[in-house]
Amino acid sequence: MLERLVYHIWNVRSKMSSEGAEVSGKPQFDEIAVIGAAVSVFWHRGYAATSISELTEATGLSRSSLYHRFTDKDGLFREALQAYTARVLRRMNAAQAGAARLRLHTLLSGFLPDLSAPRPAGCLIARSITEMSELSAAGQAVALASAERQREVFAKILRDGVERAELATDADIDALAWHFLGVLQAILNFPQIGADEGMLNLMIDLGMSAWPLTGTGR
C-alpha cells in the first residue's frame, strides 16, 4: 500500500514537471526563452493568425502550462509585446551623440535593416496597432502604451534639443515626436514593399529636414 502511494506521488510529480507546471511553487521552464519564442511567433504571424498550437510548438509548453502561467493567448501576447517593446526601447536609448539632433539621426540610422541578422519583417508594435480590433481591451492598452513609449523617446531628445538651443523654444515637440516616430516605422516596415537601404537613408535625410540645421545642432 505504501509502495503504491509513493509511486502515485512520483508519477504525479513527474507529469507536472514534464508539462512545465508548478512544482514547489516555481515554474519549471525558462520564462525568458518562452516569451522570446512567443515574440517570434506573433512577429511572424500577427496576433489573429497565431494559434495556441503554434505557440505551444514554439515555446515547448503544453496547453495546460501555457494557460496556467499566461491564462490564455492574450496573456502571452501582452507579455511578449512588452518584452519586444523593452528590447526596442533599449536600442532607441542606446543612440549616443553629443548633439541632440545627431543623436536622433543616429537612432534612426541604427534601425536600418541588417541583412546579416535575419529577423521577422516589420515591427511587432506597428503590426499590433493594425490589429487593434482583434485585441482585447488589455491587449490594446499594451499596444498603445508601447507606441507611446517609443514616441516619448523622440520627445525627450527633442526637449533636450530645445534645452541645448539646437531647436527653437516654440518648436512643436508633440508634432515632431509623431513625425519622427513615423519615420522610424517607415524604416522598419517599408523594406517589405521594396524600399532598399539607399531609399531608407534618403527617407531619413528628408525626415530630418523637419529639424532645421541651426545653432549647435549642425
Quick check: is 86 in a domain? yes
pLDDT for residue 23 is more than 90? no
Tell me how many domains the chain contains. 1
3 vs 37, which has greater pLDDT? 37
Q: Which sign does the torsion angle of CA 155, 86, 199, 218 carry?
A: positive
CATH number of 192's domain: 1.10.357.10
Beta bridge partners of 100: none
Q: Do 204 and 187 form a contact (C-beta atoms < 8 A)?
A: yes
Quick check: is 176 in a domain? yes
Residue with cell 504525479: 12
- Residue 23: which H helix or E strand, with range? strand 22-23
pTM higher than 0.75, yes or no? yes
Quick check: is 110 in a domain? yes
Tell me the C-alpha distance between 12 and 3, whole Å. Answer: 14
Tell me the C-alpha distance between 211 and 170, whole Å. Answer: 13
- Residue 26: which H helix or E strand, with range? strand 26-27
Q: Do 81 and 142 form a contact (C-beta atoms < 8 A)?
A: yes
For the stretch 75-93, pLDDT in tens is: 999 999 999 999 999 999 9
Residue with cell 542606446: 94
| Letter string b/e over residues 41-75, b meaning 16 or more CB atoms within 10 A of that residue's CB | bbbbbbbeebeeebbeebbebeeebbeebbeebbb
What's the pLDDT at 47? 97
Quick check: is 169 in a domain? yes
Tell me the C-alpha distance between 168 and 162, whole Å. Answer: 6
188 vs 11, which has greater pLDDT? 188
Average pLDDT over residues 198-216: 86
Alpha helices in 50-136 (DSSP H): 52-59, 63-70, 73-93, 100-109, 124-130
Which residues are within 8 A (CB) of 184 and not within 5 positions of it... i.e. 6 or more apart?
A: 107, 108, 111, 150, 154
Give Cα separations from 53 to 61, 104, 146 (angstroms). Answer: 10, 41, 26
For the stretch 96-129, pLDDT in tens is: 888 999 999 999 999 998 766 667 878 999 999 9
What's the pLDDT at 63? 95
pLDDT for residue 8 is more than 50? no
Quick check: is 120 in a domain? yes
Quick check: is 115 in a domain? yes
What's the pLDDT at 163? 95
Quick check: is 165 in a domain? yes
What's the pLDDT at 207? 97
Domain containing residue 136:
81-212
Quick check: is 44 in a domain? no
What's the pLDDT at 98? 87
Average pLDDT over residues 6-16: 38
Tell me the C-alpha distance between 156 and 26, whole Å. Answer: 40
